[in-house]
Amino acid sequence: MLSQNFVRGLCSRSRPLGASSSTLLRHFGAGSSSDDCSDDGSGAKGWIPDCSLDTHVVHGGVTPCEKTGAILTPVYMSTTFVQESVEKYLEKGYSYSRTNNPTVKQLEEKVAAIENGYDSVCVGTGMAATATCINTFMKAGDHCVITNCSYGGTNRICREQFMKLGMEFSFVDFADPANVEAAIRPNTTLIFSESPTNPMLTLADLDAISAISKKHGLVHVCDSTFATPYVCRPMDHGVDLTIQSLTKYYDGLNIGTGGALIASTPELYEKIKLTQNMHGNIMSPMTAFLILQTMKTMGLRVRRQSESAMKIATFLEGHPQVSKVVYPGLDSHPQKELADRQHRDNLHGGMLWFDVKGDPITLMDTIKRPWTLCENLGATESIITACAVMTHANMVREDRLAVGITDGFIRISVGVEDADDLIRGLDEALSGL
Ligand code: PLP
């Protein structure tokens, strides 16, 4: 349900920033009372209790402006905020936009609430969120156990930058939690999971890995970009921090790039906030404003994308030009039992991949609209990518094959177009190979 601070609009904000209220911890059924929302700008009427995720995604953290009635959060394009006196310094919560900006703060609180976290920092991209996390919880000599099939950018920054700065990484198969525990060393500080992974769609058992992390006193972060909070909320499974590339399903319309690092406790939040402030790694208020609007339809989009992805995956499994299809909703997915246990509402997301028997370049060159050839994912437009010749073209072939990205590996990001149109487009192009 809606907690007091969560539903309180910006114009009626009263608590100082940086000291996030513990009421932010109470979302979606986690211990609330019907008077939670008594001071949210809704007047005597209040909010009905026990609102669902869909209602939070629309209204969470936002109430009409007390002065103007504006229904949307204003874009506060201001570098600095005037203080009435030294005594009243920071009374209104803001001093300088690198530290805190009202529009960005509202997005940060809203994302944290949606992800069942305490608070979050929003930054320029998903990669900036990953870098903020590793910079906060590791220093030279520290060790991280990380999935061996993470998003390529995550793998690259670990190898190309953090390892050169003296940090150590073990890249292991997270499909079996025992591998994670076996890789822990005395100097391990961080466990970095991704579920489902880009592009292999391998799941990590977040409950099991969180239990291992707690047993060894470590911090467990999960990149949940492919899942979105509609498919899985890592913090419901004991994860300490969640990473979201907001560029994907949160924005969902191919408009803005962004990232969020969400913390489950005030202590973790204070640490990531300090790193973000020191690095000056911020999101523009305009982008925050746009994502505050586009994320309101995330539930509609992800449901539709998941349903269409299931239809398309089932169609592809029966196509003679396709040798393999991987989608967490299919019975053939090797971790189907985990997907059913960990994913919410029988939704498994909009990403799938298949192995094409013919020439992948011909497929790319002949497939008709509405399919689009480009590299983003998670948006309204359906995107098809031949990973071997596009996203992973600069990988050595042997290394690529070793992680399972075959020459015919085709990744699909299902949009919100008519599923039958998408299937007709695929069928025509595949049958022509
Ligand atoms: N995490 C995952 C799983 C991704 O797929 C991506 C990008 O594709 C990122 C992080 C990085 O996000 P961004 O492109 O916003 O930096």
Q: What is the pLDDT of residues 371-419, one digit of tens each?
A: 999 888 999 999 999 998 888 887 788 878 988 999 999 999 999 999 9
**Amino acid of residue 137:** F
Check if the beta carbon of residue 355 is closer than 8 Å to that of residue 387.
no
Q: What is the pLDDT of residue 40?
A: 57
Give yes or no for a cis peptide into 334 (omega within 30° of 0): no
Neighbours of 238 (CB within 10 A): 17
The torsion angles phi and psi of 244, rounded to 5 degrees, stand at -130, 130
* 198 close to ligand 1 (CB < 6 Angstrom): yes
CB of 152 within 6 A of ligand 1: the answer is no
Is residue 392 within 8 Å of 152, Cβ to Cβ? yes
CA of 422 to the centre of ligand 1 (A): 24
Whether pTM > 0.85 for this model: the answer is yes
- The letter for the amino acid at 201 is L
> 380: exposed, middle or buried (C-beta count within 10 Å: 0-12, 13-18, 19+)?
middle
Q: Which amino acid is at 308?
A: S
- Residue 20 in contact with ligand 1 by CB distance below 6 A: no
- Of the candidates 413, 367, 350, the one whose C-alpha atom is nearest the C-alpha of residue 387 is 413
pLDDT of 11-40, one tens digit each? Answer: 333 233 333 333 333 332 222 333 333 345
The reply to whether ligand 1 has any atom less than 6 angstroms from the CB of 251 is no
* Per-residue pLDDT reduced to its tens digit, 102-142: 999 999 999 999 999 999 999 999 999 999 999 999 999 99
As a whole number of angstroms, the distance between CA 429 and CA 408 comes to 14
Ligand 1 atom at minimal distance to the Cα of residue 150: 3
Per-residue pLDDT, 43: 63
What's the average model confidence in pLDDT over 295-316?
98
Q: Is 276 in the pocket of ligand 1 (CB under 6 A)?
A: no
Q: Quick one: which atom of ligand 1 is closest to the CA of 225?
A: 3
Residue 341, SS3 per DSSP? helix
Tell me the C-alpha to C-alpha distance, in Å, between residue 162 and each of 78, 138, 425.
34, 9, 43
For 431, the 3-state DSSP assignment is helix
CB count in 10 Å sphere of residue 161: 12
Looking at this protein, which amino acid is placed at residue 107? L
Give the pLDDT mean for 333-344.
98
**Ligand 1 probe mutation, 151, 226, 249, most atoms within 8 A of CB:** 151
329 close to ligand 1 (CB < 6 Angstrom): no
Q: How far is the CA of 181 from the centre of ligand 1 (A)?
A: 26
Confidence check: pLDDT of 423 > 70: yes
Is the minimum distance from the CB of 153 to ligand 1 under 6 angstroms? Answer: yes
Whether residue 258 has pLDDT greater than 90? yes
**Token pair 């983003």 is at which residue?**
376
